[in-house]
Amino acid sequence: MFGLTKRDSTLLIIVILLTVLAPFILNPFPEGSAMAQFNAGYPDLMQRLVIFGIFAIGFNILFGLTGYLSFGHAAFLGVGSYAAIWMMKLLTMNVVPAIIISVVVAGLFSLLVGWISLRRSGIYFSILTLAFAQMSYSLAYSVLTPITGGETGLQPKVDDPRILDGALAAGQTPRANFFGLEMGTSYELELGNWIFTFNAGYYIAAIVMILAFYLSIRIFRSPFGMMLRAVKSNQQRVNYTGLNAKPYTLAAFVISGMYAGLAGGLLVAMDTQVGAERMFWTASGEVVLMTILGGAGTLIGPVLGAGFIKYMENIVSKINKSVLEQWFAFMPDGIEDFLIAIVYPFIGKGWHLTLGILFMLVVIFLPGGLVEGGQRIGRLFKRKKPSDDAADGKTTPAE
């Protein structure tokens, strides 16, 4: 299907089903119940899940295939966001031109950064990308204030030119739209005590994510992807064969930067407020965590990692002491206070502590990330014994 193998087609279908049915999957508990705290099926979070999934997919093309670890990918996310918001201020509030220009500008900027940074490898490459990201953040925060808005950021205003849009009525505010369909348009479906929200902006972002995921599969399975794997395996041997690996690694860097720019443009389409914080080094570190946690070098791993971290950031961080008191209210006072004292440091503002512990456990026990965990669980349910593979003459290729 679409030039994919049966296995890749199945994976693509799974991703499509998960994104289409996300309002149902992410709202498993009825409204008003004690467990409704863990529902994540509201538009803002669902949009962030797929947008940062795109960001992680692009980063995985660089890190997962070539082994080049970039600590500055948030720079391309921020540059894409600024390009998109200026397109909305100058041309139109339609998100399509904004998304296109975000990809183009991020691609050009990543070409410049990659051309310089890829002169080095290993930790030197990582430090160079981090330096570029921090320089970009500093420029956006102070020097380029007339273009970036500085610490206050940018957002569309009523008096912006927008040469392709008509004049706004009195009191009307500019809103991002997709050929007239506002990105914030939502429809709620009530089934008993369950409320499911279907948001236009989420499904537009989800379609883009599915296309980006499909493109990543084609890259992974192409001769270009095979060359990138060879670079990761042993770049020196590749050079000995007479092949120049630099154009391939630069192409991977630019493609990865364009993915980041695409994510930045979609962030503006969902929330038309852009600030320099998107370019800070912590944002670059976050996408590294997403990729490693989900499974670097795998297809669906970065998407799972992005979803896991954004879920914890938006759901676990909202659990406070009053919620814990409701959960443990049925217990005797002494035991209730003890349990709250034990659990409280790991939720709310302490959600980073929980994420850090989980990340350490994954790195130690599941080097392949969440994907490896799923594969191990799947093998437990297989009846076929491992010795059967040897009997069939099957071997596992080394990489």
- Render the burial of 296-311: b for 16+ CB within 10 Å, e for the rest: bbbbbbbbbbbbbbbb
Tell whether 362 is covered by a domain.
Answer: no
Q: What is the pLDDT of residue 288?
A: 94
Q: Shortest CA distance to 311 belongs to which of 293, 285, 324?
A: 293
Residues spanned by the domain of 237: 6-280
User: In this structure, is residue 1 part of a structural domain?
Assistant: no
Amino acid at 146: P
pLDDT of residue 52: 96
In whole angstroms, give the CA distance from residue 105 to residue 124.
Answer: 25
Q: How many domains does the chain have?
A: 1
> What b/e sequence results for 208-231 when a residue is b if at least 16 CB atoms lie within 10 Å of its CB, and e otherwise?
bbbebbbebbebbeeeebebbebb
Indicate whether 89 belongs to any domain: yes
For residue 366, give the 3-state DSSP assignment.
coil
What pLDDT shows up at residue 397?
Answer: 43
Structure tokens at 54: 């795109």
| 391 within domain boundaries | no
Structure tokens at 91: 């041309």
pLDDT, residue 243, reads: 86
pLDDT at 324: 85
Q: Domain for residue 105, yes or no?
A: yes
Asked if 120 and 263 count as a contact pair (C-beta separation under 8 A), the reply is no
Amino acid of residue 244: N
What is the predicted pLDDT for the residue at 383? 61
Residue 121 resides in a domain: yes
What is the full per-residue pLDDT of the chain (399 aa) written as tens digits?
A: 678 889 999 999 999 999 999 999 999 999 888 788 889 989 999 999 999 999 999 999 999 999 999 999 999 999 999 999 999 999 999 999 999 999 999 999 999 999 999 999 889 999 999 999 999 999 999 889 989 998 888 999 888 888 988 777 767 788 999 998 999 999 999 988 899 999 999 999 999 999 999 999 999 999 999 999 999 988 888 888 888 889 999 999 999 999 999 999 999 999 888 999 989 888 999 999 999 999 999 999 999 999 999 999 998 888 888 888 888 888 888 898 889 899 888 888 888 899 899 889 988 998 889 999 988 888 888 765 555 544 455 544 434
b/e 254-289 (16+ beta carbons within 10 angstroms → b):
bbbbbbbbbbbbbbbbbbbebbbebbbbebbebbbb
Asked, for residue 298, whether it belongs to a domain, the answer is no
Between CA 141 and CA 20 the distance in angstroms is: 38
Q: What is the CA radius of gyration of the chain?
A: 23
CATH code, domain with 223: 1.10.3470
Q: In sequence order, what are the residues at sequence separation of 6 or more whose Cβ sits closer than 8 angstroms to the Cβ of residue 146? A: none
In a domain, 323, yes or no: no
**Phi and psi torsions of 191, nearest 5°:** -125, 95
